[in-house]
Amino acid sequence: MSSNIKISPSILSADFGKLGEEIVSLDKAGADYIHVDVMDGHFVPNITIGPEIIKKLRPVTNKTFDVHLMIKPVDKYIKDFAEAGADIITFHPEATPSTKETIKLIKKFNKKVGISLKPKSDIGLIDKYFDEIDLILIMSVEPGFAGQKFMPQVLPKLKKIKEIITNRNLEIDLEIDGGINFENCKTAIDAGANVLVSGSTIFKKNNGDLKKNISLLRSS
């Protein structure tokens, strides 16, 4: 039973020509968060959307905007994303000269702080900051594109982080992102994830029945 599982659909798989409507549909379909993948064509080999679009999307829902920044350098854009209406701002430690300073900057804008680890990035990049952050996002594909295959080799890292969170009694969302489907979501939850990001499964499976796909992921 996984009633405490949160689902954060990635709008990377939505129709970018009608993002507002897509987000309203996700809201009605029972999404907990809205996962917004921001890519710059530099930190990752793809370009998506920026703060101006997020600002325009903000009024369509009250759901938490879970903004995943795959941009480098990241610090100079934090203010823009905060003011655009991001609720959680997640960055990659490789995208900043000082993880500590980036955390401080996000907090200055009263936003929740997330840190993301790419599949090959080590816990050592973030272990000093567990007391200061709200979310850890474990990438289970190389960041850049929707529709890639889940990499089970990240599961030991997910388990290890879950152990630290539990042992230290911390309130940190542990999010898994990349290639999540109806078959592997239980494995990710069993390894400790409590937030599932999903793009292609939610938008493409069962003829795009968002409600069904969200509840299938949640109840796995």
As annotated, the active-site residues are: 37, 177
Shortest Cβ 12–ligand DX5 spacing (Å): 5
Among 6, 11, 36, 37, binds Zn ion (CB under 5 A): 37
Residues 174-203 that bind ligand DX5 (CB under 6 A): 177-180, 197-201
Shortest Cβ 203–ligand DX5 spacing (Å): 8
Shortest Cβ 35–ligand DX5 spacing (Å): 6
DSSP per position, the chain: --TT-EEEEBGGGS-GGGHHHHHHHHHHTT-SEEEEEEEBSSSSS-B---HHHHHHHGGG--SEEEEEEE-SS-HHHHHHHHHHT-SEEEE-GGG-S-HHHHHHHHHHTT-EEEEEE-TT--GGGTGGGGGG-SEEEEESS-TT-SSPPP-GGGHHHHHHHHHHHHHTT---EEEEESS--TTTHHHHHHTT--EEEESHHHHHGGGG-HHHHHHHHHT-
Q: Map residues 175-204 to x or -, x wherever contact with Zn ion holds by CB under 5 A.
A: --x---------------------------
Tell me if 144 contacts ligand DX5 by CB under 6 A: yes
Q: List residues near ligand DX5 by CB under 6 A.
A: 10, 12-13, 35, 37, 68, 141, 143-144, 146-148, 177-180, 197-201
Contact residues: Zn ion, CB under 5 A: 37, 68, 177
